[in-house]
Amino acid sequence: MKKISIFALIITLSLFGESDFNLNDEVETEISNKTEKQIVSIEFGFGTISRLEADTISKSSSIDKDVKITGIKLGAEDIGLRLFLSYRPIVVENTFTNSFGIELDSTIDLNNKIKFFYGISLGTIIYKIVDKNDTFSFDKKATGYYGLEGGFIFNILENIELESGMRYMITNLNDSSADTSYMFDQYMNYYLALNFKY
């Protein structure tokens, strides 16, 4: 009975010239709404921070320090673009550092299960400069960073993805205290992330 009523309504509207009535409107609206997804992402990774100007006493030309990262990203995806706000605690040896950033990516579908992404990242790193003569005191400083990122996204389930990527960033972590002088100016990291989409 319900189908007959809908059919009768369609015929009536078409007879009275209601050309604006379109059965596909609701379906197209529903499909277009489904393309936009909110994303919560949790990532783990490692990398290096390079400093080209090392301690003035050792006269080293270049030093790399290993870093470990975790992170959480909140973002959205639509029409092949992703935008994230991110927070990452970073451990450089025994020093705890924080970064806050924005990432904008473009995605390319390789097949139904794999996407390639590339984009830009920028943000702020808050770090500590430790007084070598007093291990209990330090100064907090902040510096910006910017760089490129890229990688692959693997569809695991309908709303869960595994992301594998890397970032190369330029920064300026500068310690010009009396007992040491150096600058970290390059930051590279590799990571795995779980993306939850809804």
Of 68, 99, 77, 96, residue with least CA distance to 86? 99
**Are residues 97 and 27 part of one domain?**
no
Q: Highest-confidence range of 22-26, 39-43, 137-141, by mean pLDDT?
A: 39-43
Q: How far apart are CA 85 and CA 105, in angstroms?
A: 12
Per the structure, the count of domains in the chain is 2
**Are residues 56 and 23 part of one domain?**
no
CATH of the domain at 65: 2.40.160.20
Domain that holds residue 169: 36-197
**Confidence at 133, pLDDT banded by 50, 70, 90:** low
**Are residues 60 and 15 part of one domain?**
no
To the question of pTM greater than 0.85 for the whole model, the response is: no
Cα 121 → chain centroid: 8
Q: How far apart are CA 57 and CA 146, in angstroms?
A: 30
Burial (Cβ within 10 Å: 0-12, 13-18, ≥19) of residue 39 = buried
Q: Which residue has the higher pLDDT, 82 or 92?
A: 82
Kindly report, residue by residue over 154-183, the tens digit of the pLDDT: 999 989 999 999 999 998 877 665 555 556
CB 165, CB 190: distance < 8 Å: yes
**Are residues 128 and 89 part of one domain?**
yes
Q: How far apart are CA 90 and CA 125, in angstroms?
A: 9
